[in-house]
Structure 1
Amino acid sequence: MSAVIGKNGLTEQKQEGDHATPIGIFPLRKVYYRADRLIKPKTILPVEPLSPRDGWCDDPQSHDYNRFVKLPHPARHEQLWREDHVYDLIVVMGYNDNPAISGRGSAIFMHLQRPDRTPTEGCLALSESDLRTVLAAGADAAQVHAPG
């Protein structure tokens, strides 16, 4: 199993926009997937198909910071329904979400690698087969130990 991390490596002091992957042990919260492109993953985690109106707020000034949102949304956000395939399968990691602290990083996911394996903006990217293996691992899939 080989993961791709943020283009600025690993960090213990994650900040919004630093393009680094946080170091730590984080619970896995939920799985989203493109039902028009992939079959539903096998996992004990909650699974929901994505829609074109799904997003994730990454605006530190918003009360929705580091949360799933429906689009259109007034604050800065990522669109989860993308033309490329990296978000065809997304696992929401429980990073900076209980509670979310403004500016400490948002939208930290496990998602699919780009074909050329280029670095992420701070997420952990796996091949589809490896990500499906992690999800199917049962109780052990309840948390992930980020590199470091």
Structure 2
Amino acid sequence: MQAAIGRSGTSAFKREGDGATPIAAMKLISGFTRGERIRLPQTPLSMRRISGDMLWCDEPKHAAYNRLVTQRVGAPFKPSHEEMKRADGLYDVCLVMDWNITSRKRYGGSAIFFHLIKPGYQMTAGCVAVSLCDMKRLLPHLRKGTLVKVLG
């Protein structure tokens, strides 16, 4: 199965913003989907529908670093973040891997997801990405705790 990784390759010493995919065995925690844009097979993995107010904080100095945050109406979330509801479709299926989540360290890297690929298998900002066809093939076999291994 073909996949894309970070634009800086892999790293055993992942740091925020370095563009590298961590060399690690990362457990899947849960996932997100754009249910209105895509129909997925059943999966044992807990999947949550993405809404327009969902953001992922990637500001190392913020208390919500590497966490999902909900933007309140009339009170924009100002720290650096990623919008989960993306126009480009990369997060139409977005699985959360346990990189720097369970035991979080500032600047240890954030938003390391397993998501859909850009056309032409372009590199990611540090995530692992596969085609929609391959993701649909994998989903029925994925559950919380499934290991995604990135080798150096």
TMscore range, shorter length: over 0.9
**Residue in structure 2 matched with residue 51 of structure 1 by the alignment:** 51
**Residue by residue, what CA displacement relative to the aligned partner does 1:12-49 show, whole Å, maximum 9, x if unpaired?**
00000000000110110111010110114421111111
**Residue in structure 2 matched with residue 145 of structure 1 by the alignment:** 149
**Residue in structure 2 matched with residue 103 of structure 1 by the alignment:** 107
Structure 2: distance between partners of 1:58 and 1:138: 26
Residue type of the partner of 2:82?
E
Residue type of the partner of 1:88?
D
Structure 1: distance between partners of 2:59 and 2:41: 30
**Residue in structure 2 matched with residue 33 of structure 1 by the alignment:** 33
Q: Percent identity?
A: 37
Secondary structure at the aligned position of 2:119 is classed as coil
Secondary structure at the aligned position of 1:116 is classed as helix
Cα distance, 1:140–1:46 mapped onto 2, change above 3 Å: closer
**Residue in structure 1 matched with residue 130 of structure 2 by the alignment:** 126
**Residue in structure 2 matched with residue 13 of structure 1 by the alignment:** 13
Name the count of aligned residue pairs: 148
Question: Gaps spanning 5+ residues in structure 1: where?
Answer: none
Structure 1: distance between partners of 2:89 and 2:60: 26
Matched, 1:67 2:71: no
CA contact (8 A) 1:7 1:120 kept: yes
Structure 2: distance between partners of 1:138 and 1:94: 14
Cα distance, 1:140–1:74 mapped onto 2, change above 3 Å: closer
CA contact (8 A) 1:31 1:89 kept: yes
Residue type of the partner of 2:99?
Y
CA contact (8 A) 1:45 1:142 kept: no
Greater Cα offset, 133-142 or 54-63: 133-142
TM-score by length of 2: 0.91
CA contact (8 A) 1:3 1:124 kept: yes
TM-score by length of 1: 0.94
Deviation at 1:133, TM superposition (A): 2.1
Greater Cα offset, 86-95 or 124-133: 124-133
Residue type of the partner of 2:131?
S
Cα distance, 1:103–1:67 mapped onto 2, change above 3 Å: same
Deviation at 1:139, TM superposition (A): 5.4
